[in-house]
Amino acid sequence: MNPKIINFDMDGTIANLYSVENWLAKLRSYDPSPYEEAAPLVRLSTLAFYIHKAQKNGWKVNIISWLSKDPDPNYGEAVTNAKISWLKKHLPSVNFDEIIIVPYGTPKHSLSNGILFDDEVDNRKNWFSADETNFAFDVNNILGVMKSILC
């Protein structure tokens, strides 16, 4: 049976990293600020409602997110802190079961299972092919999918 786990990517899924002005130049200069400045991509009050409902019903809810493509131990720590800060700021009432922030390119399907919301096509394909009881969804209707899972 498929475990009751819901996993969210951050960048491009719930946080609009790519809309931050000069985001790529900033990341390449080891500036973590785009991860803190990203606007939400979904109505976060509604997402928090569904996450609380899921957790009340026995679901685990995780974040699985990558660090920047340019690896550097100090920058990795700064990015991790920025992402956690973003989550605390935008989803303050949510206590995620796990926040998994790993080097860029780490296969997400090796870190958890269940349901994945992710903007990356390859992550979704690999998620499903790793275990055919897993489900992966793009970012187009996160709240609608959450509603259909929980109601």
The domains located in the chain, with CATH, are 5-150 (3.40.50.1000)
CB 7 within 8 A of CB 107: no
Q: What is the mean pLDDT of each run of 10 residues along the chain (151 residues)?
A: 86 97 95 97 97 97 94 90 98 98 96 96 90 90 95 82
Residue with tokens 């009432």: 93
pLDDT of residue 1: 44
Q: Where do we find the tokens 């409602």?
A: 49
Q: Where are the beta strands (DSSP E) in 67-132?
A: 98-102, 115-117
- Res 128: pLDDT: 86
pTM: 0.95
The answer for residues whose C-beta is within 8 angstroms of residue 135's C-beta and 6 or more apart is: 2, 114, 115, 116, 127, 128
